[in-house]
Structure 1
Amino acid sequence: MEERRLKTLDRVLSKAGLGSRTTARTWIGSGRIAVNGRIIQTPDHWVDMERDHVTFDGRPLKEHKPMYILLYKPTGYLTTADDPENRPTVYDLIRDVETWLSPVGRLDLNTSGLLLLTNDTQFADRVMSPEGKVPKTYLVKTNSHLADADLSKLREGVELSDGVTGPAIVTRLRDNASSTFLEITITEGRNRQVRRMIEALGSRVRKLVRTGIGSVSISELE
């Protein structure tokens, strides 16, 4: 049996458009999901996509065609479906989409820019895999002036709590007395990576916009 055919049950349900994996775990725990006629209440139960028969309330799962959405995420929106504080999320922006879509990477609350959502989990995995080295490009405004030596550190890699970052492509766009404006391209996908890279230099990010994922540019939204 090829490993690539195996997926956890919660992932199978999410891919089938039944909601987030959190929602899928709720369905599983309530006993509404069966695999080959047997009720399964374990979210990490392995499913063979070619051999196993999965049902929801006795009905077979529907196959959904791959869907890809490019979205401009404003600041103030979370890249999640469930927020205990009931803050706005990117799913508020796509309420008319019936199929469940997952974000390909996340943008934090105060970051805006290009966000890709899809139900094609294999595609999402390729984009986010460190081995894929898919470039992500950001426009950055710092809260202090950065010297050329600082930019060299970003290009070579800076020490973060989870290790040294990989090389980045860094272009100085302009400066003023209190800020530096940069374009930064990275091929990793660590949590809050660009912000932490700037903080490692003793500065902070004042504004952050993602403008590109691979060959896809934010200009395509215009």
Structure 2
Amino acid sequence: MLRLDKFLCEVNAGSRSQVKAYIKKGMVTVNGTVITKPETKIEEEKDEVIFQGSPCVYRKYVYYMLNKPRGVVSATQDNVNETVTGLLKQTGYHDLFPVGRLDKDTEGLLLMTNDGALAHSLLSPKKNVTKVYYVEIERPLTKEEILLLEQGVDIGEEKLTLPASVELLTEKSLYLTITEGKFHQVKRMLQAVSNKVTFLKRTAMGSLRLDESLQAGEYRELTAEELEDLRGLGDA
């Protein structure tokens, strides 16, 4: 059970002081009864709460697909750069965070949520959740270099990178699928075969595919099917 004022905060009806004022003014009903005490306890998933004529639907966790633009950092706050959480201010949810990270100059798929358990599960090295990147490079890869990328390369870590998958699109573009998420990993992998990334975009994470209708900086909530598939990955 939740206090009524806390419930209204969590459904983004206002700040704690604002919702207390709304309640005391008789602007909130619970199961058809006007409630004027902010401390009133309610069953958040059963009771019908109406505020200013509209029902308040309680959702503890929310999930958004963001097409991250370049120039924005994958952080909840930054004193210098715009953050991915800043792009989702209009959702009203202030506890969102990115699942994993994309470099400042990398764009593409980023899952934003407040579900820590799912995020932890998807990022666990034991899960081997795949990440697919569209990569543009400085020069064409040789067959030997492709084989090295797929088998594992030395990027300065204790071990070689885990096996990857390379799908050539043109001489200077490819899809690279990896199961790790090391710092600057894709760039370091290409550097390991004496090449350079000129453009990088993540297109998929596990079962989740970037909605190509989303322009850079745009976002949408996950569909029920997308969320179910992601949870299946986390439970695997």
TM-score relative to the length of structure 1: 0.67
- Which residue of 181, 195, 203 corresponds with 2:173? 181
- Which residue of 82, 99, 106 corresponds with 1:111? 106
Q: Which residue of 1 aligns with 2:197?
A: 205
Alpha-carbon offset, residue 221 of structure 1: 4.9
Alpha-carbon offset, residue 81 of structure 1: 2.4
Q: Which residue of 2 aligns with 1:36?
A: none
Q: Which residue of 1 aligns with 2:122?
A: 127
Given that residues 71 and 221 in structure 1 are in contact (C-alpha distance below 8 angstroms), is that contact kept between their aligned partners in structure 2?
Answer: no
Q: Which has the larger radius of gyration?
A: 2
Q: Which residue of 2 aligns with 1:161?
A: 156
Q: Quote the sequence identity (%).
A: 38
Given that residues 72 and 221 in structure 1 are in contact (C-alpha distance below 8 angstroms), is that contact kept between their aligned partners in structure 2?
Answer: no
Given that residues 102 and 118 in structure 1 are in contact (C-alpha distance below 8 angstroms), is that contact kept between their aligned partners in structure 2?
Answer: yes
- Which residue of 51, 55, 62 corresponds with 1:67? 62
Matches within 5 A, 1:31-180: 65-84=60-79, 86-99=80-93, 100-162=95-157, 163-175=159-171, 180=172
Q: Secondary structure at the match of 1:194?
A: helix
2:109 and 2:140 mapped to 1: Cα distance? 26
Between Structure 1 and Structure 2, how many residues are aligned? 160
2:119 and 2:180 mapped to 1: Cα distance? 14
2:165 and 2:211 mapped to 1: Cα distance? 20
Alpha-carbon offset, residue 64 of structure 1: 5.8
